[in-house]
Amino acid sequence: MPTQPSPAALFAPVFALAAWTFCILLLIAFRRLQAGFNGTVSPREYALGESARVTAPVSLPNRNYMNLLELPLLFYVAMLLAHVTATATPLLVGLAWTYVALRVVHSLIHVTYNHVLHRFLAFATSNFVLLGIWALLARAILLP
């Protein structure tokens, strides 16, 4: 049986993804302030969220931030589940880091050149990795 990774090893990718999410949150503020100061977007365009008049470079970080709060929830739950059930393995930790790396790549594509196919490939691959994490956990917990 593989050695159980330390909590630090298991939760390092969790903290990394949370930190990345906060970086995107800061990018939202930066791009909104920049657009406000240079006059491309009026602050009133955010009164009820983002109006259609908010330009893509300003709105993309916000959409990416929402992405980082949606499916990654299953990642956070999986890591907690692996810890609580003591079913984490080095393979699971490796997959966790792979998931985080793919989410960062997805974000970078999304908020920079935003090529849809590239973004989709990073997103889809990250989802398959997340599915693999859940499959490993299900096997370890349900079929010990």
The total number of structural domains in the chain stands at 1
Residue 56 forms part of a structural domain = yes
Give the structural domain span for 93.
Answer: 7-142
Please report whether residue 108 resides in a domain: yes
Tell me, yes or no, whether 11 lies in a domain.
Answer: yes
Answer whether residue 2 is part of any domain: no
Name the amino acid, one letter, at 99: Y
Q: What digits encode the pLDDT tens for the residues 87-119?
A: 999 999 999 999 999 999 999 999 999 999 999
The domain that holds 53 is classified in CATH as: 1.20.120
Taking the whole predicted model, whether its pTM rises above 0.85 is answered as yes
Long-range residue pairs from 48-56, CB within 8 A, at least 24 positions apart, any chain: 56/114
3-state secondary structure (DSSP) of residue 40: coil
3-state secondary structure of 6: coil
Does 62 map to a domain? Answer: yes
| 85, containing H or E segment | none
Mean per-residue pLDDT for 64-69? 97
| Residue 118 within a domain | yes
26-61 tens-digit pLDDT: 999 999 999 999 999 998 888 888 888 899 999 999
